[in-house]
Structure 1
Amino acid sequence: MEKDLTEYELIRSGRKSLTIQIKTDGSVVVRAPLRLAKYRIERFVTEHEDWIRTQQKKAEKYREQVHVITEEERRDGILRAKKIFPERTAYFAKRMGVTYNRITIREQKTRWGSCSSAGNLNFNWKLLLMPPELLDYVVVHELAHRKEMNHSPHFWAIVEKELPDYRKRREKLKILGRQLG
């Protein structure tokens, strides 16, 4: 279903340029300088009609591929995560000879896990919606930071020692991660 291009949200600000943004729901946002005449904005939108339609089709395709998480999935996932992450973390920490402090379960949009310098670990519960080997990869990745707080070659050698196929797991995580919305 094509959206009417005469319908767009206009946001005026102190900016100097005119831009068009297509949101993931296919709606159009036009950002314009405060004093730019309305007819120039409308002409700009008309001139970019093909580009707008193309981006809306891409947004629609993206929405079809993304799994929208229900409240029930979220609730159940967080409960399971509170059990599974401590188990997997304890298992790999023992194997890797590292310690850690607190484990926190979160829901981040862009991160699967993190490790603070104090040894506190954060994990994204959404990992439970993926194959278990990806959860293990994130756990090992974060525990490796207990030895090396960076992503140097030494860090990756620690990860590889525990998970020789970590590169495949990391790539699979990137691909599947885009499908969770």
Structure 2
Amino acid sequence: MARHKRQRFRWPSDDLFGDIDVEVGWNPRRRTRMGISFDQDGTLHVEVPPGVALSEVRQVLQDHRRWVLRNVHQTEARDAGFPSQYVDGTILLHRGRPLCLRTDTTDEVRRDGESLLAPQHDTKRRVWHWYAREAAQVLAERLSATCPRLPWVMRVPVWRHSYMRAQWGSCSASGRLSLNTHLVKLADDLIDYVLVHELCHLKHLDHGPGFYALMQRSLPDWKERRRRLNERKALLAEPPPEATALA
């Protein structure tokens, strides 16, 4: 049997899907239904029965616009480590789990199940403020759970959080912790890894043998957690909202 016809193109730049590579294949094995899928490089593949016009393909994609855009944003987030834009359907991370951004006429950012509702205007700045509020609560919670497990930590040390571009956390010579607000996007076990790492610096300021021995006793799987954390490092590269001072 001859290989079925394929056509690769982009919709016109002023069209609904102008930035998406689309490959349409007319497959004789398909009788009535249309198949839609994404590959690893973000190309949208559509398989249709013979005789289906491109105008019909376009209409189906329009009908599934939300699904298409959500998958585009998931691909972008996977490749870049952070969303390229904060629009309806963007996939965000919170404590290691995906949240689907929904923009509407609301005046505040809030969770609604597996969605994050946010205003349509100034969305990124508002979401970053929401992350900052969440980080204050989540990091305090994880510190309260972690410190009692470490016998050399007598009390929760003085700490603060802020958006940082180079590191997940640090510990000063005086024992003050500086933590990255982006930590709130990670799973709790990765947050705990960063906290244990910095709390070990209360006994060993350097990364010498004593430090790593303490890490091993405190968190036997720390190397695996470090490996997973390094896979999330691209999160740190996200540029902040323009001309905005975040608390």
TM-score w.r.t. structure 2 length? 0.45
Q: Does 1:67 align with 2:87?
A: no
Tell whether the 8 Å contact from 1:111 to 1:124 is kept in structure 2 after alignment. Answer: yes
Give the structure 1 partner of residue 56 of structure 2: none
Give the structure 2 partner of residue 90 of structure 1: 144
Tell whether the 8 Å contact from 1:86 to 1:103 is kept in structure 2 after alignment. Answer: no
Give the structure 2 partner of residue 176 of structure 1: 232
Note the C-alpha offset of 1:63: 9.7
Give the structure 1 partner of residue 159 of structure 2: 103
Query: Which shifted more, 152-161 or 133-142?
Result: 152-161
Task: Decide which structure has greater helix share.
Answer: 1
Take 1:89 and 1:143, find their aligned partners in 2: how far apart are those partners? 10
Q: Percent identity?
A: 30
SS in 2 for 1:122: strand
Larger relative contact order (CA 8 Å, sep ≥ 6): 1
Query: Structure 1: any 5+ residue segments left out of the alignment?
Result: 1-60
Note the C-alpha offset of 1:159: 1.4
Q: Please give the residue correspondences for 1:139-158 in structure 2 after superposition, counting only pairs within 5 Å.
A: 139-158=195-214
Tell whether the 8 Å contact from 1:113 to 1:138 is kept in structure 2 after alignment. Answer: yes
Q: Judging changes above 3 Å, is the alpha-carbon distance between structure 1 residues 73 and 150 closer, same or farther for their aligned structure 2 residues?
A: same
Tell whether the 8 Å contact from 1:101 to 1:118 is kept in structure 2 after alignment. Answer: no
Aligned residues: 121
Note the C-alpha offset of 1:145: 0.4
Q: Judging changes above 3 Å, is the alpha-carbon distance between structure 1 residues 157 and 75 closer, same or farther for their aligned structure 2 residues?
A: same
Query: Structure 2: any 5+ residue segments left out of the alignment?
Result: 1-75, 87-123, 239-247
Take 2:134 and 2:235, find their aligned partners in 1: how far apart are those partners? 21
Q: Please give the residue correspondences for 1:1-181 in structure 2 after superposition, counting only pairs within 5 Å.
A: 64-68=79-83, 70-97=124-151, 98-99=153-154, 100-180=156-236, 181=238
Q: Deviations over 1:76-106 (max 9, x none)?
A: 1111111121222232222112145311111
Query: Which shifted more, 146-155 or 88-97?
Result: 88-97
Take 2:220 and 2:161, find their aligned partners in 1: how far apart are those partners? 26
Give the structure 1 partner of residue 28 of structure 2: none
Give the structure 2 partner of residue 9 of structure 1: none
Structure 2 counterpart of 1:67, which letter? F
